[in-house]
Structures are given as C-alpha cells and as structure tokens.
C-alpha cells in the first residue's frame, strides 16, 4: 500500500502584494477584540456628537445674521446719510477727521477717546438700505489708511496714513452700470485709482456718507484671553460733490447700529460740513469667543476615537512581536518592507472606513442636536462639510498608520500608544483645548507637530479686514486645511521609512 | 515537651512584606527600561516647562499669567512617561508570563500589588522631585527676563513662598497619583497598550471635551471631575477664586480616581486567575 504524501492545497510562493494584504486582513479580522475596538472607536465619535453638552438660546430672529451677496453671513450696520442715485454718477468728498471712543474695560460702561483699527468713515454706493445688500465703498480707517471695499469680502488698500485736518483725504466713487471705480487723493487735484468693483446694483441705488466702528477687542498676551466692547467713531466730511443735482439727504441707522453705546449714532450738517457718528461694521461675520459653534464641534469625539484606533493599530504590529508571530510572518514573506506596507494599507483602510462612517453620522446628526438645543452653528457649505468628514477619516487613518510605524520602531505596544497619543493630542491640548502657550509659539506647534492634521476640521475663514482673535484657541489654525493634513502625513511617512529601515536591519 | 507546629499551617512570616518589597525593588532596578523612563520623566518635564517659560511673556502688570503653572507645564508631558512606567510595572509581567512566578513567590496578591505600588511611588517621588525642582529652577532663571518681575506683581519664584511650595509639592504628588492610577488600570486590564490608552484617554480627553463644551455650567463640572484638570489645580497660584475647584480638593479628585483604579485592580487581581 502506498501512502500519498500530504500536499497542501495552498498555492506555492512567491506571494504577491495582494496575498500579503489578504494575510494581514485575515490577521486583523480574526481578532475579535480589535473589531470590537474599531466599532467602539467609531461609536465614541458618534456618541460625543450626540451628547447634550451644548445649549443656546437662539431663535430664528436673534441668531441669523444678514447674508451678503456672496452667500456669507455679514454684519452690516452703520450710520448712513444718503440720497438716491439713478443710473450712472459720481460722488466726491473730503474727510478731515475720524475720531472715536472705546470702552474702558475695567470700569463698566465708561468710554475713553480712542479709535479701533477698522473704524470706517467714507462714501458708499449701496443697492438699498437693507442689511446685506450689495455695495462698494471708499473709506478712511482707524489705522489702515484709505481702503476700497465691496460686497463685504473684498478689500483694496489706498493711501496710507491717518486722516486729520492738516492731512485730509479726498475720496471719490464713480458708478458706470455695475462697475464702480474708487479714487483717492491727498489734495483734491491729484487723483489715483484705488480699484474697481463689480456690484449688482439696481437702477436706483443709495449713495452717501457713512461712519461705522466695529467692536473693540483687547487681547491679553499669553492667556489668549479676550475682552472687548462696542466702540463708536465720528467722521467729519466736507466738499461733498455730486455729479447730479443734489436732493434731500436722509439719515438712517442701517442694521440697528450694531449695539452702539447709548444711542450716540446720528449726523449733523452745518454749512456743507457733515459730522456723522456711527457704530457697527460692514464686514463678514467672523466667529470668535462668544459661544459660536462650528461643525468641528460635532467632532469632539475624534480624540476619543483616535486613542482607541491608535491602540488597535499599535497592537496590530506589536502583537506580532509579543506573540512571536513576526517570525512566521517574515518567514512567509521575507520582503519585510512589503509586509509593513500591507499592514499600513489594511489598518489605514479599516480606520478610514470606520472614521468616514462615524464622522458623517456625527456631523449630520450632531448639527441637528446642536440646533435643536438652540445653539448657533456657524454655517458651512456642503462641500466644506464633506471636506471635514473625509478629512477627519483621513486624520484617523494616518494616525493609525503612524501608530503601526512607531509600533514597529519601538516593538512595544505601550510605548507606541503613548508616543502617538502624546504627539497628536498633547500639542492640541496645549494650544487649543487648554491653551497655556501664547498665540505665536502655539501656531508653530500647530504647524510642525502631527496635531497640525486637525486643521482639516476648521471651517472658519480669516479676513484681514476684520479685527478678531485668529488663534487656534478660537478655531483658526495657522495652516490651511489640506496643508495641515499634509504635515501629519509627512510625519507618518517619516516614521514609516524609519520603521522599514529598522525592520530590514534588525533581527526580528 | 515542645509541640511542633501542626503540619500544613505556616507560621506568619514577619518579613513577608519586606521580602515582597525587596523582590519588587530588584525587578524595577534590573528592568532595562526603568532608569531610562525615570530620566525621561525628568528630561521631558524640564524641557517642556522651560520651552513654555521661554515662549511666555508678561508685558505689563495684570497680564494674567501664573509663573508656577507656566514653569510646571512640563508635567503635562511628564505624566505620560510616569503612566508608561506605571503600566509597565505590572503589564510587563503579564506580557512575559513573569506574573506566574511572582504570584508563586508571593501568593498574597494584595501584598504584591502594594509592594509594587510602594516601589513605583518611591521611584516617581525621586524622579518627580528632581523634575519639579528643575522646572521651577528653570522658571526662576527664565521668567524674570520675560517680564515676570516684582513691578508686574511677580516676586522671584521661591519655595519659601507658600503657594509656590504648594504647587511644587503638589506637582510631585500629582505625578505619584498618576502613577497609581496607571498601576491600578494596568492591573485590571493586563495588556500594556490598552492600559496606556485608557490612562492617557482619562488624562487628556477630559480637558479636550471640557474645552468643546460651551455651556459654562457643564464645563465647570467636567473640570471638577477630570483627573488632569482637577489634579493640576494644585499648580495654580494666581486667580484662585475663578477656579472650578480649589487646589487640594482638586488633588483629592485625582486621589479618588487613583484609589478607585487601585481598588478595581486589586479586586480583579484577587478574583481572577493570573
């Protein structure tokens, strides 16, 4: 009787990358604890989005800002002395003074003389007096010289320097159809063009003089603590020249005057000199302090999910060393770099999928919960929301790959978990959550450390023409979204290269 | 005639605890990672504290900075190394199977855990004291050049000053309590990677969550129960009135967490097979 020798039905080597992926996927899938942990990590992200921590007292009227021509929320309040302009025309004015008052923060409602940097006095052509309507304006500002601004987001510089009786500023706006051109001059004879703007204006637009003054902000360094209050500004205008026969001037506190202190807004006119006092701003709304909530708020669970997934990812590698499975793995697939690549692909795919599903649920349902609680959620376009969701999944996936790489380098689960959690979460903690660093060094930490990846969750835009605390603590990251993610990716790539190098060089 | 002790009953060994301590000390001393982790506690704490102190400015009186908190901010990182040391103290034994030998030699499991806790506390006490004193010394050297001068309301950092002494001693205790928290959790969990994930999650996630909660009422509650936020209240020397929790009560909260973790770990150690 002959005995047929045992023949494995498995295919003979060499194995391709697809086989390696299959092997690594089998290893991952068959550890029940890891599958459960990935689900727990995803649930943590969703659970914290639904937790009823955020409350507000918004109803539709108190929390909806006017919307500008570009679709963004704007503040549009100023004192406006105006008359209608039918068709084309031009307005010229000389501004001889811009002064103001800012709050003394330590003494309740007391005010002192002072001017905020973006206090504005000048001329404006606006579609109507309703807030949010299209406009183009030439203005002198508190400390940014002459500017031409239009439709809330555009800003062009003109003559530098402050305005005074000895150094007045002449401003001119010319409308030709929907095109408005701004000019400035120091003497009324030599004019320079500042810029042109396209504003969709009706046949009859409102043209006139305005003054406004945004809120005063005082940042105390280091603590990044911000205090502030409303301010007012007063502009003095003369030599008003119109290209059409002047009608009667009407005075309006457009947009309610932006919380102007004590009802000081108004205008007076004597012998061709206009004195106009106003408060508020003509600018996009920026979030900062004041209980504003962005959609990143719904993703606070990212950190909990991240720690869970990092533990799984680190163990995915270090368990091989702990159980000596690495010997079998490397015997079966002697090309070590490809083994690590297969592991990174598997853990990256699994964590990306888990992150994508949970982030999508968190953002969609979390916003509903926040709005249901009456919190004001700073608006974000659908495209931005998709970027935040996909980006969050990417952050989790790259962090998991980083954990695999560090796990290979250290060969210890505890060390790998600690390193990854510390390099990602601690910089965030020191700069955003419990800021102890002053804004400058904090920004560098968020540019250089893996925590930069969280920039992918930012939805706020910085406008140089709006004074605000653009610090990480208020949701403004120093890097653009994708650049931040790229920093995290660079760290993961660096760690992965070192891991491949060590894995090849060392005994297993 | 003297009666021989009955068979099967052992005389209580008066030096049982001492031997357990000696065994744990030998293990801690000879484990390759211990000395490096202790040095890392010192180095990371002082390095981060000095870096934050170098970055901080106090341009005028009333700048709202806390020199003790700034100098000791390295604890934020140092505690992670303490957590690794604590977790490895026990889960290293589970990883290698050494725990079987340990429990054969010292069958009284609570005694074994207590001996581990004592050795860990001793080690962290030494490293923590060096780290805290080094951080304060760095702050004392760096901060006066950055506007932390008597004219701005900041006398030189000195341990003779009650609040600074409290911040210094409290920070050492804080590190010790973090160590016990880690030891308790690692005893309960046994796997080092999972245990360190839980410890760091407990420490770091609460402040992140608290910052995300806009409701000041909830925020205050979160900061009162969070092991890190409450425990680090011990470092605060300015603006104590605005704190959600007083310094010693805050350290008490962390002590409660550590006690809970040690009790859970001890109980599971007694009940479970190793």
pLDDT tens readout for residues B124-134: 999 999 999 99
Residue range(s) defining the domain that contains residue B164: 20-26+33-271
Considering the domain architecture, whether residues A343 and A265 belong to the same structural domain is answered as no
pLDDT classification of B6: cutoffs 50, 70, 90? low
Nearest CB to B194; choose among A304, A311, A422:
A311
Alpha-carbon distance A406 to A404, whole Å?
6
Q: Kindly list the residues from chain B whose CB atom is less than 8 angstroms away from the CB atom of residue A413.
A: 191-193, 196
A positions 310-329 inside 8 Å of B (CB): 310-311, 314-315, 318, 322
Residue range(s) defining the domain that contains residue A179: 66-284
Report the pLDDT averaged over residues A215-240.
Answer: 74
pLDDT classification of A171: cutoffs 50, 70, 90? very high
C-beta atoms of B195 and A293 within 8 A: no
**Domain end (from A218, A250, A284):** A284
Q: What is the mean pLDDT of chain A?
A: 85
pTM listed for this prediction: 0.82
pLDDT attached to residue A397: 96
pLDDT classification of A61: cutoffs 50, 70, 90? very low
Considering the domain architecture, whether residues A226 and A302 belong to the same structural domain is answered as no
Q: Are strands A120-126 and A204-212 parallel, antiparallel or unpaired?
A: antiparallel
Q: Kindly list the residues from chain A whose CB atom is less than 8 angstroms away from the CB atom of residue B91.
A: 414
Alpha-carbon distance A137 to A133, whole Å?
13
- E strand or H helix at A208: strand A204-212
Considering the domain architecture, whether residues A83 and A157 belong to the same structural domain is answered as yes
Token representation of residue A435 = 């800021």
pLDDT classification of A436: cutoffs 50, 70, 90? confident
Alpha-carbon distance A37 to A502, whole Å?
29
Tell me the angle at which helices B162-189 and B75-96 cross, rounded to the nearest 10 degrees: 30
Number of A/B CB contacts below 8 angstroms equals 132
B positions 99-158 inside 8 Å of A (CB): none
Alpha-carbon distance B47 to B38, whole Å?
14
Give A433's DSSP letter: I
Q: For A38-96, give the secondary structure using H, E and C.
A: HHHHHHHHHHHHHCCCCCCCCCHHHHCCCECCCCCEEEECEEEEEEEEECCEEEEEEEE
Considering the domain architecture, whether residues A180 and A270 belong to the same structural domain is answered as yes
In a domain, B237, yes or no: yes
**Domain end (from A263, A284, A305):** A284
Report the pLDDT averaged over residues A89-95.
Answer: 92
Asked if A303 is an interface residue toward chain B (Cβ–Cβ < 8 A), one would say yes
Alpha-carbon distance B124 to B177, whole Å?
10
In a domain, A81, yes or no: yes
In a domain, B5, yes or no: no
Asked if B87 is an interface residue toward chain A (Cβ–Cβ < 8 A), one would say yes
Give the 3-state secondary structure of residue A490: helix
Least confident of A296-310, A384-398, B18-32: B18-32
Considering the domain architecture, whether residues A126 and A177 belong to the same structural domain is answered as yes
In a domain, A140, yes or no: yes
> Nearest CA to CA, how far is B205 from chain A (Å)?
7
Nearest CB to B57; choose among A222, A416, A421:
A222
Report the pLDDT averaged over residues A263-279.
Answer: 83
Q: Kindly list the residues from chain B whose CB atom is less than 8 angstroms away from the CB atom of residue A223.
A: 63-65
A455 within 8 A of A446, measured Cβ to Cβ = yes
Considering the domain architecture, whether residues A205 and A98 belong to the same structural domain is answered as yes
Q: How many separate domains does chain A show?
A: 2
C-beta atoms of B64 and A225 within 8 A: yes
Considering the domain architecture, whether residues A280 and A296 belong to the same structural domain is answered as no
> Nearest CA to CA, how far is A337 from chain B (Å)?
24
Tens of pLDDT, residue by residue over A441-468, are 888 888 999 999 988 988 877 787 887 7
With a pLDDT cut of 90, the percent of chain A lying above it is 35
ipTM of the complex: 0.88
Chain B interface disruption, residue of A414, A421, A437, most B CBs within 10 A: A414
Least confident of A62-76, A228-242, A251-265, A483-497: A251-265
In a domain, A11, yes or no: no
Report the pLDDT averaged over residues A356-366.
Answer: 92
**Domain end (from A284, A302, A329):** A284
Asked if B31 is an interface residue toward chain A (Cβ–Cβ < 8 A), one would say no
Residue A225 scores a pLDDT above 60: no
Closest chain B CA to residue A34: B194
In a domain, A244, yes or no: yes
In a domain, A61, yes or no: no
Nearest CB to B73; choose among A53, A56, A436:
A436
Within its chain, how far is the Cα of A453 from the centroid? 14
Considering the domain architecture, whether residues A481 and A397 belong to the same structural domain is answered as yes
C-beta atoms of B69 and A225 within 8 A: no
pLDDT attached to residue A221: 47
Q: Kindly list the residues from chain A whose CB atom is less than 8 angstroms away from the CB atom of residue B43.
A: none
The region, left, alpha or beta by phi > 0 then psi within -120 to 50, assigned to residue A88 is beta
User: A410: Cβ–Cβ under 8 A, 6 or more apart, which residues?
Assistant: A318, A416, A419
Tens of pLDDT, residue by residue over A178-197, are 899 999 998 888 999 999 98
> Nearest CA to CA, how far is A315 from chain B (Å)?
7
Considering the domain architecture, whether residues A234 and A301 belong to the same structural domain is answered as no
pLDDT attached to residue A297: 79
In a domain, A440, yes or no: yes
Considering the domain architecture, whether residues A215 and A239 belong to the same structural domain is answered as yes
pLDDT attached to residue A222: 42
In a domain, B2, yes or no: no
pLDDT attached to residue A312: 94
C-beta atoms of A412 and B192 within 8 A: yes
pLDDT attached to residue A232: 87
C-beta atoms of A418 and B218 within 8 A: no
Residue B68 scores a pLDDT above 60: yes
What dihedral do alpha carbons A457, A461, A462, A463 form, nearest 10°?
Answer: 180
A207 within 8 A of A125, measured Cβ to Cβ = yes
Range picked from A116-120, A229-233, B53-57 for highest mean pLDDT: A116-120
Range picked from A47-51, A75-79, A434-438 for highest mean pLDDT: A75-79
pLDDT attached to residue A60: 44
User: B236: Cβ–Cβ under 8 A, 6 or more apart, which residues?
Assistant: B66, B68, B69, B167, B243, B247
In a domain, B118, yes or no: yes
Q: What is the mean pLDDT of chain B?
A: 85
Considering the domain architecture, whether residues A165 and A218 belong to the same structural domain is answered as yes
Considering the domain architecture, whether residues A313 and A374 belong to the same structural domain is answered as yes
C-beta atoms of A53 and B215 within 8 A: yes
C-beta atoms of B196 and A414 within 8 A: yes
Tens of pLDDT, residue by residue over B139-158, are 888 888 887 877 777 777 77
Tens of pLDDT, residue by residue over B28-40, are 888 878 889 999 9
C-beta atoms of A303 and B208 within 8 A: yes
Higher per-residue confidence, A417 vs A258:
A417
> Nearest CA to CA, how far is A272 from chain B (Å)?
46
Bridge partners (DSSP) listed for residue A155: A149
Alpha-carbon distance A98 to A161, whole Å?
12
In a domain, A475, yes or no: yes
Nearest CB to A418; choose among B58, B196, B213:
B196
Report the pLDDT averaged over residues A319-331.
Answer: 86
C-beta atoms of B88 and A304 within 8 A: no
C-beta atoms of B65 and A222 within 8 A: yes
In a domain, B251, yes or no: yes
pLDDT classification of B62: cutoffs 50, 70, 90? low
> Nearest CA to CA, how far is B129 from chain A (Å)?
22
Q: How many separate domains does chain B show?
A: 1
User: A486: Cβ–Cβ under 8 A, 6 or more apart, which residues?
Assistant: none
Asked if B88 is an interface residue toward chain A (Cβ–Cβ < 8 A), one would say yes
Higher per-residue confidence, B171 vs A334:
B171
Higher per-residue confidence, A289 vs A319:
A319
Asked if B55 is an interface residue toward chain A (Cβ–Cβ < 8 A), one would say yes
Token representation of residue A135 = 């406009």
Closest chain A CA to residue B86: A414
């Amino acid at each position: 009787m002959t005995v047929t020798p045992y023949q494995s039905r498995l295919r003979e080597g060499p194995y391709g990358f697809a086989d390696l992926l299959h092997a690594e996927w089998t290893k991952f899938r068959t550890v029940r604890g890891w599958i459960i942990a990935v689900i727990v990590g995803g649930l943590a992200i969703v659970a914290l989005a639904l937790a009823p921590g955020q409350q507000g007292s918004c109803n539709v009227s108190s929390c909806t800002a006017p919307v500008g021509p570009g679709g963004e929320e704007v503040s549009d309040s100023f004192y406006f002395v105006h008359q209608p302009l039918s068709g084309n025309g031009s307005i010229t004015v000389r501004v001889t003074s811009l002064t103001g008052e800012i709050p003394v923060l330590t003494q309740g409602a007391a005010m002192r003389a002072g001017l905020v940097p973006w206090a504005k006095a000048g001329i404006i052509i606006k579609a109507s007096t309703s807030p949010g309507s299209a406009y183009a304006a030439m203005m002198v500002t508190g400390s940014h010289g002459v500017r031409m601004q239009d439709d809330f987001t555009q800003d062009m510089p003109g003559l530098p320097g402050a305005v005074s009786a000895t150094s007045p500023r002449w401003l001119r706006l010319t409308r030709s159809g929907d095109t408005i051109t701004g000019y400035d001059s120091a003497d009324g004879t030599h004019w320079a063009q500042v810029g042109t703007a396209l504003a969709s204006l009706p046949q009859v637009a409102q043209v006139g003089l305005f003054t406004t003054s945004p809120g005063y902000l005082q940042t105390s360094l280091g603590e990044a603590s911000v205090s502030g209050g409303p301010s007012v500004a007063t502009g003095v205008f003369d030599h008003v020249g119109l290209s059409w026969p002047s009608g009667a001037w009407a005075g309006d506190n457009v947009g309610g005057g932006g919380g102007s202190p004590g009802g000081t807004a108004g205008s007076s006119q004597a012998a061709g000199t206009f004195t106009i006092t106003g408060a508020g701003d003509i600018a996009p709304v920026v979030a900062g302090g004041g209980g504003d909530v962005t959609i990143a708020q719904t993703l606070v669970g990212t950190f909990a999910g991240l720690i869970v997934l990092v533990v799984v990812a680190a163990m995915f590698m270090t368990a091989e060393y702990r159980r000596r499975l690495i010997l079998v793995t490397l015997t079966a697939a002697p090309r070590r770099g490809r083994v690590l690549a297969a592991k990174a692909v598997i853990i990256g795919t699994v964590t990306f999928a888990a992150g994508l599903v949970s982030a999508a649920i968190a953002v969609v349902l979390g916003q509903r919960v926040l709005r249901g609680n009456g919190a004001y959620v700073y608006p974000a376009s659908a495209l931005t929301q998709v970027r935040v969701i996909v980006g969050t999944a990417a952050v989790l996936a790259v962090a998991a790959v980083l954990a695999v790489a560090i796990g290979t380098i250290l060969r210890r689960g505890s060390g790998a978990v600690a390193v990854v959690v510390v390099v990602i979460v601690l910089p965030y903690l020191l700069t955003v959550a419990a800021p102890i660093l002053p804004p400058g060094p904090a920004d560098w930490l968020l540019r250089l450390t893996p925590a930069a990846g969280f920039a992918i969750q930012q939805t706020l835009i910085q406008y140089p023409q709006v004074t605000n605390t653009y610090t990480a603590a208020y949701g403004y990251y120093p890097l653009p979204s994708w650049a931040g993610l790229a920093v995290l990716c660079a760290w993961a790539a660096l760690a992965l290269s070192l891991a491949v190098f060590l894995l090849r060089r060392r005994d297993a | 005639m003297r009666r021989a002790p009955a068979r099967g009953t052992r005389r209580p060994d008066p030096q049982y605890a001492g031997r357990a301590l000696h065994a744990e000390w030998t293990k801690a001393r000879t484990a390759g990672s211990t000395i490096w982790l202790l040095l890392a506690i010192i180095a990371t704490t002082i390095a981060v504290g000095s870096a934050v102190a170098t970055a901080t400015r106090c341009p005028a009186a009333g700048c709202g900075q806390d020199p003790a908190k700034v100098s000791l901010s390295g604890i934020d990182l140092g505690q992670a190394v303490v957590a690794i040391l604590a977790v490895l103290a026990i889960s290293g034994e589970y990883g290698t199977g050494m725990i079987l030998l340990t429990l054969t030699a010292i069958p009284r499991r609570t005694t074994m855990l207590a001996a581990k806790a004592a050795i860990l506390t001793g080690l962290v006490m030494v490293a923590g004291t060096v780290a805290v004193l080094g951080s304060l010394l760095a702050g004392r050297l760096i901060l006066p050049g950055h506007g932390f001068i008597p004219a701005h309301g900041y006398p030189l950092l000195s341990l003779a000053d009650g609040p600074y002494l409290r911040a210094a001693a409290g920070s050492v205790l804080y590190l010790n309590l973090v160590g016990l928290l880690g030891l308790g959790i690692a005893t309960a969990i046994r796997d080092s990677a999972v245990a360190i994930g839980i410890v760091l999650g407990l420490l770091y996630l609460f402040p992140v969550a608290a910052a995300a909660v806009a409701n000041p009422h909830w925020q205050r509650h979160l900061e009162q129960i969070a092991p890190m936020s409450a425990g680090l209240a011990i470092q605060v020397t300015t603006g104590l009135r605005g704190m959600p929790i007083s310094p010693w009560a805050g350290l008490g909260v962390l002590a409660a967490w550590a006690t809970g973790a040690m009790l859970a770990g001890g109980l599971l150690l007694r009940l479970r097979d190793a």
